[in-house]
Amino acid sequence: MNTVSVRAPSNIALAKYMGKSDSALNIPENPSVSMTLSSLCTDLSVSETAQADDCFSEEKPYFTKGTAPNLSDGGRAKFLRHVERVRGGLDAFFSEFGLEARNLQDRVEIKSANTFPHGSGIASSASSFAALTLGVATFYAKDREAFRDLFDVSAPFRRKLSEISRQGSGSSCRSFAGPFVSWDQSTSRSMESGLEPLRDLILVAGRDPKTVGSSEAHQRVKTSPLWKGRVKRAMDRHCKILDAIHHGDFETLALTSWEEFFDMHDLFHTSAPSFTYWNDTTRLILESLSHLPMDRVCVTMDAGPNVHCLVRESEATKWKSHFDTVFPGVEILEDHAGRGAEIIEVST
Ligand code: PMV
């Protein structure tokens, strides 16, 4: 069968991308930095189809806890537009790296499955769009093994893919490398860490799809009185966080991340009209976490109700059982840092 399968992880931002200076190209107002995750990911296959149009379907989505499949028609259309975008840029991209494309007139069938709840603030658009970009680009390479070799060894090649991906979903450009990735304007770069390996314990406060999607949030934050000065605050924290990661300074990382996610959520809470991703469980969790020592747990939140707690691997079991006791009934997802999107299988 003429098919390729890929996997791309989500990532959790510590300095946040919120607000765009160019909405068409997804250019951020400020730089951001994230930890790439590993098993919270999107598995995606791209196959040849005899149909006249591309098609996209969600396979075995995260139904197990009673959630419904929730890729809306709009969501599916956004994915299909991105397939067109990727395909449209392949001739130029491939020739830059000495590759050739297969027949770009062929249409594709895409099947995608997330290993975590869709739409609840674990960045599913990051993993989905990274997987989609990588899957479609790999599919159309005439020599897929040569494509895979370049993807494995060439940082500029990965970077180029991440730039294409960014145009579908900004945060997806940070899912092509790891363990930490900094994204400034159009380009993202991986950075090594002086920190002990970290584990992300995600306290799942809610699983409902978001009422305000991230595209809307990027626009609405600019109506907040707190938007004034936001870019400077975010840039300062971005620098501090890069420095803390580089020097293995966990306490500064945790303190700065705490300020940064509150700053982002304060923008949501004060925009016009205001909105929130928090629910009662989120508030309870945050209240309790505010009493923890800053040098042990680094707390952050994405655009959703769930709370990410980054802890040292060596202390993860202890913290997990602490959270199990303090927050009974709250599901905890776990993941560790990864190295970004990968090609799983290609037929030649
Ligand atoms: O990539 P988008 O447009 O879904 O934006 C996501 C933005 C946040 O997840 C809220 C923050 C970030 O930097 O990932």
Q: What percent of the chain has pLDDT over 70?
A: 95
Mean pLDDT of 214-223: 96
* 67: confidence class by pLDDT, cuts 50, 70, 90: very low
Mention every residue, 6+ apart, whose C-beta is less than 8 A from residue 6: 43, 44, 45, 46, 131, 134, 135, 138, 341, 342, 343, 344
Q: Which atom of ligand 1 is nearest to the CA of 215?
A: 3
Residues for the chain: how many in total?
A: 348
Instruction: Report the alpha-carbon distance of residue 14 to residue 182 in Å, rounded.
Output: 10
Asked if residue 123 has its Cβ within 6 Å of ligand 1, the reply is yes
CA of 2 to the centre of ligand 1 (A): 33
What is the position in ligand 1's atom list of the atom closest to the CA of 264? 10
Instruction: Select from 173, 197, 203 the least CA-distant residue to 323.
Output: 203
Query: Is the model more confident about 254 or about 207?
Result: 254
Ligand 1 mean position to 171 CA, how many Å? Answer: 5
CA distance 220 to 227: 10
Q: How far, in Å, from the CA of 114 to the mean position of ligand 1?
A: 17
Which atom of ligand 1 is nearest to 303's Cα? 10
Q: Rounded to the nearest whole angstrom, what is the distance from the C-alpha of residue 12 to the centroid of ligand 1? A: 9
Identify the weakest region by mean pLDDT among 69-83, 109-123, 255-269, 309-323.
Answer: 109-123
Nearest CA to 86 out of 6, 194, 204, 29 is that of 6
> Are the CB atoms for 15 and 264 separated by under 8 Å?
no
Q: Is 290 helix (H, G, I), strand (E, B) or coil?
A: coil
Of 249, 11, 260, residue with least CA distance to 123: 11
Q: What is the mean pLDDT of the chain?
A: 93
* 10/41 Cα distance (integer angstroms): 5
C-beta 267 within 6 A of ligand 1: no
CA distance 6 to 86: 15
Residue that the structure tokens 């629910």 belong to? 279
Verify whether ligand 1 is closer than 6 Å to residue 17 (CB atom): yes
Of 51-65, 148-162, 231-245, 281-295, the least confident: 51-65
- pLDDT attached to residue 70: 54
pLDDT over 50 at 1, yes or no? yes
∠ CA(220), CA(272), CA(22), 5° rounding?
A: 20
Judge contact between 82 and 134, C-beta under 8 A.
Answer: no
Tell whether the model's pLDDT for residue 61 goes beyond 90.
no
State the closest ligand 1 atom to the C-alpha of 129, by its place in the atom list counted from 1.
Answer: 1
Question: Is residue 62 scored above 60 in pLDDT?
Answer: no
Written as six digits, the tokens of 253 are: 């990382």
What is the mean pLDDT of the segment spanning 148-152? 97
pLDDT at residue number 64: 44
- Scan for tokens 């969790």, then name that residue: 285
Mean pLDDT within 83-90: 97
Nearest to 250 by CA among 318, 333, 194: 194
- Decide whether any atom of ligand 1 lies within 6 Å of the 277 Cβ: no
Q: What is the model's pLDDT at position 121?
A: 53
Mean pLDDT (whole number) for 283-287: 98
User: Which residue among 120, 171, 174 has the greatest number of ligand 1 atoms within 8 angstroms of its CB, and so is best to mutate?
Assistant: 171
| pLDDT confidence bin for 272, thresholds 50/70/90 | very high
Burial of 37 per CB tally in 10 Å (0-12, 13-18, 19+) = buried
Cis bond leading into 179, ω under 30°?
Answer: yes
Reported as a single tens digit per residue, the pLDDT across 94-137 is 999 999 999 999 999 999 988 876 655 566 789 999 999 999 99
The Å distance, Cα 191 to ligand 1 centre, comes to 19
Q: Is 125 in the pocket of ligand 1 (CB under 6 A)?
A: yes
Could you tell me which residues come within 8 angstroms of residue 222 by beta carbon, excluding any fewer than 6 positions away?
A: 19, 271
